[in-house]
Amino acid sequence: MTLTSHAEDLRLGMIGLDTSHVVAFTKLLNDTKSKGHVPGGKVVAAFKGGSKDVESSWSRLEGYTTQLEKEFGVKIVPTIDELCQQVDAVLIESVDGRPHLEQARPVIKAGKPLFIDKPVAGTLRDAIEIYRLAKQNNVPVFSSSSYRFYDSLLDVKKTDVGEIRNVISYGPAHQEPHHPDLFWYGVHPTEALFTMLGAGCESVVRTTSEDTDVITGTWAGGRLGTLVALRKGPISYKVIVFGSKGTAEQKGSGDYAPLVQEIIKFFQTRIAPVSPEETIEIFAFMEAADESKRQGGKPVSVRELIKANSAR
């Protein structure tokens, strides 16, 4: 579909101003002269948020807030309820996934389409609850890593390798002590793995060393997906797909513009480009990796983990 013109711009609100994404996304949306400008929406209001026990949150919150106010004229409001009264759709950008559920509650109650930046929540249970509330209230919710929409990754997905048998995804997986190991940064290469294989992961096994984790998921039909999570050194992202006809290897990187385009399309159509089921499975995969580590590398059922965390 074609994105709407400026005359029809949606009024957008942001929650959580403690990540570089708030400036990058706002520049793409509000600055018509910026490279990769995305029409269709403009950030007009924001709620600061912030987490006092996460250094990468509190140390950056005031700087990004000031930048949004001075460079883009974004109005800072004291509550999420007030934010919802002034906007058509909302982006939760808080770098800390733990407050996402409580931040999402008033947005869902107000009936506003909602994009939640990675990680969708701080636990699998919270992720499931967010989507349960959204479904109950008929409010569209979408979450994704920007990596999913990189042109270089989509080029791999378009390559005809025949029947996919195995996918390897590697990338940085720096950790944050308040989140499951992969939620903080490993979510990016994990989402790339699911971009290639889709939902349907049945079990997860994790092998751990000081610097690296290797997490292998078994998908329906015997397909294998291997995540190589790297915690130290200069690290890039890459996906390699092995199929019955040949292989395809990611070349190059990407930027935020394709994700922001998808966010605007989502706000306009209320149709999420990634299903709730797949997003929940991504976070179940990552939490299953932690459970496998706790059990000394034993396989963990994704379905059973989702079931256990769905109980209210």
- The region of weakest confidence among 126-130, 140-144, 164-168, 176-180 is 176-180
pLDDT digits (tens, 9 = 90+) for 68-90: 999 999 999 999 999 999 999 99
Q: Percentage of the chain with pLDDT > 70? A: 97
pLDDT reading at 275 higher than 60: yes
Decide if 199 contacts 279 (C-beta within 8 A). Answer: no
CA-CA distance, 239 to 181, in Å (whole number)? 20
pLDDT reading at 4 higher than 60: no
pTM for the full predicted model: 0.94
**Cα separations (Å) of 99 from 216, 222, 310?**
29, 37, 19
pLDDT reading at 7 higher than 60: no
Mean pLDDT of 118-146: 97
The per-residue pLDDT for 312 is 66
**Cα separations (Å) of 36 from 111, 242, 253?**
30, 32, 15
Mean pLDDT of 226-242: 91
Contacts for 109 with CB less than 8 Å, ≥ 6 apart = 137
Mean pLDDT of 15-19: 95
> Hey, which CATH number is domain 6-146+256-273, 1.10.340.30, 3.30.1450.10, 3.40.50.720, 2.60.40.10?
3.40.50.720
CA-CA distance, 143 to 128, in Å (whole number)? 12
Q: What is the DSSP string of 138-184?
A: T--EEE--GGGG-HHHHHHHHS--SSEEEEEEEEE----TTS-TTTT
The per-residue pLDDT for 56 is 76
- The mean of the pLDDT values for the chain is 94
Query: The sheet that has 300-301: what strands, in order across it?
Result: 247-249, 238-243, 164-172, 224-230, 212-219, 201-208, 300-301
The per-residue pLDDT for 233 is 75
The per-residue pLDDT for 2 is 45
pLDDT reading at 16 higher than 90: yes
**Cα separations (Å) of 271 from 142, 157, 217, 230, 268?**
9, 21, 28, 34, 8
The CATH superfamily assigned to 147-254+283-310 is Dihydrodipicolinate Reductase; domain 2 (3.30.360.10)
Mean pLDDT of 140-145: 97
pLDDT digits (tens, 9 = 90+) for 96-130: 999 999 999 999 999 999 999 999 999 999 999 99
Q: Percentage of the chain with pLDDT > 90? A: 88
Model confidence at 3, pLDDT cuts 50, 70, 90, reads low
pLDDT reading at 6 higher than 90: no
pLDDT digits (tens, 9 = 90+) for 24-57: 999 999 999 999 999 999 999 999 998 888 887 7
Model confidence at 162, pLDDT cuts 50, 70, 90, reads very high
Q: Helix (H, G, I), strand (E, B), or coil: what is residue 216? A: strand
Topology alike, domains 6-146+256-273 and 147-254+283-310: no
The per-residue pLDDT for 307 is 96
Domain range list for the chain: 6-146+256-273, 147-254+283-310
pLDDT reading at 267 higher than 50: yes
